[in-house]
Amino acid sequence: MSHVLTCTGLDAGYTGRPCVRGFDLELAAGEVLALLGPNGAGKTTVLMTLAGLLPSLAGEVSIDGHKAKSGHARSAAKAGLVLVPDDRSLFTSLTVEENLRLSVRSRRSWPTERDTIVETFPQLADRLKVAAGALSGGEQQMLAIGRALVQHPKVLLIDELSMGLAPVIVERLLPIVRAVADNTGTAVILVEQHVQLALGVADTAMVMRHGNQVLQGNASELAATPEVIENAYMGEAFAGP
């Protein structure tokens, strides 16, 4: 099977010091990967490095078989890696429509792009003229994802979708992400603290701890064995009897 994203032996970190070591990944089109792990495990660092916002310290990243330039956000975006950061980074004084429009590549396609986003997130339909800063947290997340989608990503990187959101909102948003992957073939890496909710929509899952990949597998199998996930989070020293 050809992979839309491949990482081989990726080291990532800050000021030349790796906090993620030897990260390997093969992601297929339309696959949703739940990237899990305790605080400080290195999940955000991986996403930032893939998005070119941090230079990699070793290893290789390929997008659709083409080697990615390390630390080059613009070429990562051009190649199809788009990040939805945990703070959403919206232009809060601009309207929903303006936020979306800024990310649309061709002016001519704007009406179609807007309609597609409204179809994906019907709740945004009558919020288009509202300032992003006046939206609810859930609506802001819809806008942040919508802004990523108008860039037609091959791989959508979503950092902490649930940040600041009630679980009920997360339960509504995650199936939309799943549908986007199914309907468009976009691959998704979903960093999420709500482990069971994430596993419920993902195909595959990976747990990181202290910068290492400690567990990988099929999401529904892992969802059925929460103790395996728990041990991966805590380390063998904390494994049950």
Ligand X SMILES: Nc1ncnc2c1ncn2[C@@H]1O[C@H](COP(=O)(O)OP(=O)(O)OP(=O)(O)O)[C@@H](O)[C@H]1O
Residues that bind ligand X (CB under 6 A): 14, 19, 37, 39-45
Of 58 and 131, the one with the shorter C-beta distance to ligand X is: 58
Min separation Cβ 17 and ligand X, Å: 8
Of 16 and 240, the one with the shorter C-beta distance to ligand X is: 16
Of 31 and 192, the one with the shorter C-beta distance to ligand X is: 192
Min separation Cβ 44 and ligand X, Å: 3
Distance, CA of 195 to CA of 36 (rounded, Å): 7
Q: Which two three-digit tokens encode residue 174?
A: 């995650």
Min separation Cβ 102 and ligand X, Å: 26
Of 17 and 108, the one with the shorter C-beta distance to ligand X is: 17
Min separation Cβ 47 and ligand X, Å: 8
Of 19 and 29, the one with the shorter C-beta distance to ligand X is: 19
Of 89 and 183, the one with the shorter C-beta distance to ligand X is: 89
CB 18 within 8 A of CB 212: no
Query: In sequence order, which residues have a C-beta less than 8 Å from that of residue 126 and are 6 or more positions away?
Result: none
Distance, CA of 173 to CA of 166 (rounded, Å): 11
Query: In sequence order, which residues have a C-beta less than 8 Å from that of residue 66 and are 6 or more positions away?
Result: 79
Residue 67: exposure state from Cβ atoms within 10 A (0-12, 13-18, ≥19): exposed
237: left (phi over 0), alpha (psi -120 to 50) or beta: alpha
Min separation Cβ 112 and ligand X, Å: 35
Of 146 and 211, the one with the shorter C-beta distance to ligand X is: 211
Min separation Cβ 13 and ligand X, Å: 7
Distance, CA of 216 to CA of 28 (rounded, Å): 15
Residue with tokens 């990243």: 61
Q: List, as own/partner pairs, every contact residues 111-118 make where C-beta atoms lie below 8 angstroms and the sequence separation is at least 24, other chains included.
A: 113/150, 116/149, 116/150, 117/146, 117/149, 117/150
Min separation Cβ 86 and ligand X, Å: 7
